[in-house]
Amino acid sequence: MSAKASPTKKKSIIIDCDPGVDDTLAILFALGSPELDVKAITTVCGNVPLEVCTQNALKILELAGRTDIPVHAGCDSPMIGEPIFGKFHGAGGLGKLVLPDPVTQPSPQHAVGKMAELLRAAKTNNEKLTICTLGPMTNLALLIKLHPELLSSIECVVSMGGAYRIAGNRTLTSEFNMLADPHAARIVYSAGLDYVALPLDATHQAMTSPERVSWFKGGEAGSPLAATYELLSGWSRNDPRRYGSDGGPMHDPLVTVYLVAPHLFQTELAKVFVECDSQLCYGQTVADWYGQTGEKADAQIVQKVNADGVFSIMSERIRSLSQAG
């Protein structure tokens, strides 16, 4: 008698986010991927104010039929200074997409407390969690400061953020998530964890061309697929001089796609530093590609993306999520 193959163990993740058009797609992809077990959604001030982010997270889970996943609101401002907000998501955070007001409520526990609770449980069970950051790193930085004893239960931090070999998207040098709370990012990248970074270098390769957007057609009204098509259809930057093509860059979905299909990405190992002092370069991420600082390289920085592969698997998984509902 041959032994039965054991089922592949799901990867347990926390999605820390600021929904956000592209956060929405990252979450929907994760929920449509059987390889991933989303333990919680935590929100942070970023693209829109914290309260709006949290309401959007609840709306997304209701859209996907996954109200079993708790939503925990986190930090409503950066560690130092005043919040800045995104420019491309609209006042409600979801572009022109209108979703019903959520029926469910966020959990009363603070996001950082929930992160700690889940990591503590993982430690007890000799397991690990992957933390996905789709917005400013404020919540994760606070977790690191308050609960350093739990960091050994973090398998990896997979983040959308930074700009290395290309210009910033909010200032000359800085990507929005890093600029919104560089002090938090510096704490995170100094904690000695394992990191995967998906910077603008990668996300600007994943453009929403008309052909790729068409792959998301056909969803029934009110389905995740129909919502995704509407979001993608309105995401064009109309700036081919900058991006090399029509459409707009897909940022946050690359994080959750990476977890499922890392073969679609090529990375380079480096140590990451975050600038918090220079006025001109505030929020800039700097990579030590060649070991010049002598510090340990611990971040896999994505530099190449198979964009057609990314959009193909996104459409497959979000379509599957829609059919399951």
pLDDT tens-digit series, residues 113-159:
999 999 999 999 999 999 999 999 999 999 999 999 999 999 999 99
Q: Between these two residues, 18 and 1, which has the higher pLDDT value? A: 18
Residue 4 has pLDDT above 50, yes or no: no
Rounded distance between C-alpha atoms, residue 257 and residue 249, angstroms: 15
Of 72, 89, 204, 251, catalytic: 251
Taking a C-beta distance cutoff of 8 angstroms, is the pair 60, 30 a contact? Answer: no
The residue among 281, 270, 145, 285 whose CA lies nearest residue 195 is: 270
Residue 14 has pLDDT above 70, yes or no: yes
The question of whether 251 is a catalytic residue gets the answer yes
Handedness of CA 308, 313, 319, 322 (dihedral sign): negative
Low-confidence winner among 48-57, 85-94, 103-112, 187-196 (lowest mean pLDDT): 85-94
Averaged pLDDT of the chain:
93
Residue 325 has pLDDT above 70, yes or no: no
Q: Between these two residues, 62 and 238, which has the higher pLDDT value? A: 62
Residue 6 has pLDDT above 70, yes or no: no
Rounded distance between C-alpha atoms, residue 165 and residue 270, angstroms: 13
Rounded distance between C-alpha atoms, residue 130 and residue 15, angstroms: 9
Taking a C-beta distance cutoff of 8 angstroms, is the pair 288, 297 a contact? Answer: yes
DSSP state of 207: B
* Residue 234 pLDDT class (50, 70, 90 cuts): confident
Domains and CATH numbers, the chain: 11-324 (3.90.245.10)
Rounded distance between C-alpha atoms, residue 169 and residue 21, angstroms: 16
pLDDT tens-digit series, residues 37-86:
999 999 999 999 999 999 999 999 999 999 999 999 999 999 999 999 98
Strand partners, 28: none
Percent of the chain with pLDDT over 90: 87
pLDDT tens-digit series, residues 309-318:
999 999 999 9
Residue 3 has pLDDT above 50, yes or no: no
Residue 282 has pLDDT above 60, yes or no: yes
* Residue 239 pLDDT class (50, 70, 90 cuts): low
Percent of the chain with pLDDT over 70: 94
Across the range 211-223, mean pLDDT stands at: 93
- The H-assigned helical ranges of 20-173 are 21-31, 50-64, 111-124, 138-146
Q: Kindly report the pTM of this predicted structure.
A: 0.95
* Residue 2 pLDDT class (50, 70, 90 cuts): very low
Across the range 265-288, mean pLDDT stands at: 97
Rounded distance between C-alpha atoms, residue 58 and residue 99, angstroms: 10
